[in-house]
Amino acid sequence: MSGSYLSSVGYKRRIPGGYRPKIPFGTYLAQGDNVLIWTAVVMPLFGLVMVYSASIFIAIDLYSLDWYYLYRQTFLVLLSFGALFLGMRLPVEQYQRYAKLLILAFLLLMLWQVFFGPVIRHTRRFIRIFSWTIQTSEFARCIVIMYLARVFSARPQLIEKFDLKFIAVLLPVAVMVILIYAQKDFSAAAMMAALAGALLLLAGLSWKLFSAVSLAALSSAAFFVWRSDYQLERIIAFLQRIFLQADLTATSNYHGLQSILCFGCGGIFGVGLGSGIRKMLFLPEPHTDFIYATIGEELGLWGTVAVLVAFTMLMFRAVRVLKMQTDRFGFLLGSGLLISLLMFAFVHMGVTTELLPVTGLPLPFISSGGSSLIVSMWSIGVLWNLSRRANGYV
């Protein structure tokens, strides 16, 4: 795609004098994978509808306004479109250039947060800016992806053997995971560790070394779970449900029971949008951690399958983009962002359908909340940017 048309509008080089002709926005969008952009438009709008439906009774109970979360989420969706545009426009090379500086800055921020950050919901997961709270682990995960992509694209030989250099490269990531755990966010710490492992495998780590690193990580995770009565109780309750057919009405099984009741009530076609019963202060966090269950109750099997198909389509389109990458950094960066989105989506679905232990993770694009939505939209913007580069545009 380097013909005279591209040269005439200045895609490949600047016209003397530094002037680059403006091109219509529709033409610009056509340079990348439009399916990714449609995903970033349709899913948050669908999320707005579901957030309003799922949060009505909680909003009335807490704020005496049934539209409180709708108003808040609408603002966040508009803000997330800015993050999408940033991901589309910012050159990918900038992430590579500043990755090490960003991870250092975030390590200092997370360290400050552990000791001095505000205590919100008995944890230090958030920082407060005016009346808004930001979950820093969402952004830290993206920084870790940039960092690992930067290191293993610049020095691919590091992946060949387990030595002090390899350990030194992984040290910032390990510290980040520990700091997130210290904020009492075990699920986010575990997801970051799993994401780092997936990137190591994609970077070329042998299965032998990968198994050794995974064993060390799992041993550490088991130790931290053992020290946390809250997490240990959830995992034991899950194992009892799977292998011992434990009493589902027990307190430790409450979340899972309410979630399963949502799918059972919804059946194939659902009870109707806005007509769900479990969200009436029975199902915990119906607009965030269990919004997929709310979709199952109100829109039925068809609604849940539609969401699953949307994420599956996103996966196939993004994998197609990644296969077209010609540089190692772009491939690892895009792979990390895609894996992050899919991990959160499928773990959320697994939790709500009782296939995984209960943990608090949002459904990307759809759950109420700003940090996850902004990061997800930015990730789609970067993937679109990579598709544009693969098509020959700079």
One-letter amino acid for residue 189 of the chain: A
Burial pattern 100-129, b for ≥16 Cβ within 10 A else e, equals eebbeebbebbeebbeebeeeeeebbbbee
3-state secondary structure of 285: coil
Using alpha carbons, select from 129, 128, 127 the residue that is nearest to residue 113. 127
Gap between the Cα atoms of 44 and 6, Å rounded: 33
Residue 236: pLDDT over 50:
yes
Examine the pLDDT at 9 and tell me if it is beyond 60: no
What are the tens digits of pLDDT across the range 145-162? 999 999 999 888 888 777
Per-residue pLDDT, averaged over 269-282, amounts to 92
**Is the pLDDT at 8 greater than 60, yes or no?**
no
User: How far apart (Å, rounded) are the C-alpha atoms in residues 10 and 85?
Assistant: 21
Mean pLDDT for the stretch of residues 335-358: 93
Residue found under tokens 């076609």: 269
The one-letter code for the residue type at 104 is L
The pLDDT of residue 212 is 81
The torsion defined by the Cα of 217, 109, 127 and 371, in degrees rounded to 10, comes to -60
pLDDT band at 2 (very low <50, low <70, confident <90, very high): very low
CA dihedral (145, 148, 152, 157) in degrees, to 10, reads: -150
Instruction: Write out the DSSP string of 194-248.
Output: HHHHHHHHHHT--HHHHHHHHHHHHHHHHHHHHH-HHHHHHHHHHHIIIII---T
The secondary element (H helix, E strand) that includes residue 129 is strand 126-129
Mean pLDDT of all residues in 11-38: 66
Residue 119: band (very low, low, confident or very high) from pLDDT cuts 50, 70, 90: confident
- The alpha carbon of 100 is separated from its chain's Cα centroid by a whole number of angstroms, namely 21
Domain ranges (residues) in the chain: 1-30, 31-390
Residue 305, pLDDT score = 97
- Return the sign of the alpha-carbon dihedral for residues 68, 42, 286, 300: positive
pTM of the predicted structure, to 2 decimals: 0.89
More confident residue, 234 or 245: 234
Query: CB neighbours of 359 closer than 8 A, spacing ≥ 6?
Result: 186, 187, 234, 347, 351
pLDDT at 11 over 60: no
pLDDT of residue 3: 39
The whole-chain average pLDDT of the chain stands at 86
> pLDDT value at position 249?
58
Q: Please say whether the beta carbons of 220 and 368 come within 8 A.
A: no
Q: Which three-class secondary structure state does DSSP give residue 32?
A: coil
- φ, ψ for residue 391, nearest 5 deg: -80, 0
Over residues 71-98, the mean pLDDT reads 95
Q: Is the pLDDT higher at 222 or at 309?
A: 309
The span from the CA of 280 to the CA of 297, in Å, is 12
pLDDT of residue 209: 82
Considering only CA atoms, which of 322, 342, 310, 373 is closest in space to residue 33?
322
Distance CA 110, CA 181 (A): 11
190 vs 218: CA distance, rounded Å: 9
d(CA 116, CA 240): 38
- At residue 213 the predicted structure's pLDDT band, cuts being 50, 70 and 90, is confident
Tell me what the mean pLDDT of segment 165-169 comes to: 88
At 126, the pLDDT band (50, 70, 90 cuts) reads: confident
At 39-63, the pLDDT tens digits run: 889 999 999 999 999 999 999 999 9
